[in-house]
Amino acid sequence: MVYLSGVKKSFKLEHGKTLPVLNGINFHAPRGKTTAIIGPSGAGKSTMLRCINLLEIPDEGTVRVAGKEIRFEKNENPPFGKAHFARQKEILSLRRHTGMVFQNFQLFPHKTVLENIMEGPVIVKKENPQEAREFALSLLEKVGMPDKKDSYPSTLSGGQQQRAAIARAMGMRPDVLLFDEPTSALDPELEREVLKVIRTLIQENNTMIIVTHNLLFAREVADFIAFLDGGEAAAFGTPAEIFGKSAPARVAAFIAAMSPVSTRN
């Protein structure tokens, strides 16, 4: 479902310097499976996730999602002109195969929960408003918030906002759901609300990629786990392989250091 090959990404700093974040990363996520991304801070986890749906444009490499493939080469397009705009259309086409759930929710504050969910399907995908509304209401049932359809984000708890954000991502009927630290801004009680919803989605065999600090959750729900370190996918395997005695030394050291955190659930 998702495939990255040789993806590189650097960010420009002051005085003309650059910060390499992804160093030719290779990664894949199978269809209908849940893949958890773990690793130390600064390893490139969120950047990799944003490269999958092209919120961050790779400097080099190949990105493929649901059969749609785009190759990037260094300085391949001018900043303006037909080539640039053709590439933008290609990027938007790939992005529509994904649904993104951010750690800070990113709901439209001036729209109700129901309007947030309907916005993408109606405006971007040009769906029939009544059909989009019915689907949005069914998603609110799924995330346990049918009574909040007319509420504004500012009136919701953090856990409710994140559940609304999950419903909004699903409203686009994506081929793959991407979660960027979906519970990092929540206290343990609200975290459980969100993790319960994610567990339900996993049981429905959605294709999901989850960047998470919660190692216990990753071990419990993921079919596969990728360990990122220094902008590279240093290890990839099943939870038994990543958390077992045969795990690479760097992975084992990270898990041991995170063990007090990994027991949160």
Q: What 8-state DSSP symbol labels residue 124?
A: I
Length of the chain: 265
Say which amino acid occupies 81. G
Q: What is the mean pLDDT of residues 104-128?
A: 94
| Helical pair 129-142 and 158-171, crossing angle rounded to 10 deg | 140
Say which amino acid occupies 56. E
Residues 6+ apart with CB under 8 A from 129: 118, 122
Question: Do residues 247 and 259 lie in contact, with contact meaning Cβ atoms separated by under 8 Å?
Answer: no
Question: Do residues 143 and 163 lie in contact, with contact meaning Cβ atoms separated by under 8 Å?
Answer: yes
* Residue ranges covered by each domain of the chain: 102-173
Each residue's pLDDT tens digit, 218-264: 999 999 999 999 999 999 999 999 999 888 899 999 999 886 544 44
Q: What 8-state DSSP symbol labels residue 209?
A: E
Each residue's pLDDT tens digit, 182-192: 988 788 888 88
Question: Do residues 101 and 166 lie in contact, with contact meaning Cβ atoms separated by under 8 Å?
Answer: yes
The pTM for the full model equals: 0.89
